[in-house]
Amino acid sequence: MSSADEIYKNLVIEILEHGVWDKDQDVRTVWADGAPAYTKSVICKQVTYDNTEVPILTTKRVPWKSAIHELLWFYVKRTSDCSYLDQNKVAIWKEWTNKHNHIGKAYGYQLGKPIMIEGKITNQVHNLIDQLKNNAASRRHVISLWDVDELDQMELYPCVWNNQWLVKQGMLHLIVSARSNDIGLGNPFNVFQYYVLQRMISQITGYQLGTLTFNINDAHIYERHIDSLKEQIARESYSAPQLWINPEITNIDDFTIDDFKLINYQHHPTLKMEIAI
């Protein structure tokens, strides 16, 4: 059994059995038909993966190439212009794309905007890699996508808004913070893509792969996803696949989708779930 499937199953069961409804509140998130998108949620949930397996679900198909494309858009292209997604037929941001085919000053923009560090102009991604290589013991290896001064210029506030990297005994650990996580759709996507990012940074910096931890402040299941999730967690999982990453890449900016192959990914069929907006 895939450990990622087991972790996910336990998380879904916990929310279904112990989560609280938000039906007594003014919910601003809606479905495409305009109905309120109510959720059941638990707060302050921490989930850790030991990374001995690729943490991708097998009880349903996770669109892994789309997940990597979004990751490359953020961390390699470092832009909020959706042209890259269009070129690669990735439509996951269509509900939040403005008339300029842009998501405003969110995500990739925050990673790519120039910052001044010790008199040198750089960006958050390049600074992270430089500091991991040259100041490994630091506890300041943090990337933030939450700029208070620019939130009103983002089409969507960042859900996964912060990550911290720690080097301990030659191993690179990653802690990801999410203010909000849609367990039905977003969580499987996010867990896999941050594992991929961790593998990329580990390869570039030369550290062994450590643990991946998600701190989720609001872990929720949408009402219309419940039946699909019950069906999913009743399925028997398959063994986890393997992820090949081109070992010749030593610069973050050189990664493309062709540098990734998911090998022996056996999975159950896709489960359709609506997107709340």
CATH number, domain containing residue 222? 3.30.572.10
Q: What is the predicted pLDDT for the residue at 59?
A: 98
Report if residue 119 sits inside a domain.
Answer: no
Tell whether the model's pLDDT for residue 93 goes beyond 80.
yes
Q: What is the predicted pLDDT for the residue at 152?
A: 97
List the domain range (segments joined by +) for residue 134.
3-59+124-184+193-263
* pLDDT averaged over every residue in the chain: 97
Cα gap 196→68, rounded to integer Å = 7
Q: Give 112-159 pLDDT, tens digit per residue.
A: 999 999 899 999 999 999 999 999 999 999 999 999 999 999 999 999
Tell whether the model's pLDDT for residue 1 goes beyond 80.
no
Report if residue 45 sits inside a domain.
Answer: yes
Report if residue 227 sits inside a domain.
Answer: yes
Q: Alpha helix (H) ranges present in 28-148?
A: 64-72, 83-87, 108-112, 124-134
- Contact at 8 Å (CB) between 175 and 190? no
Report if residue 92 sits inside a domain.
Answer: no
Choose, from 16, 156, 159, 171, the residue flagged as catalytic. Answer: 159
Domain count, the chain: 1
Question: Any catalytic annotation for residue 44?
Answer: no
Taken in order 93, 95, 96, 97, is the CA torsion positive or negative?
A: positive
Question: If you ran DSSP here, which 8-state letter would residue 253 be given?
Answer: G
**φ, ψ of residue 176 in degrees (nearest 5):** -110, 135
Q: Is 172 helix (H, G, I), strand (E, B) or coil?
A: strand
Model pTM score:
0.97
Considering the chain, what percentage of its residues have pLDDT values greater than 90? 99
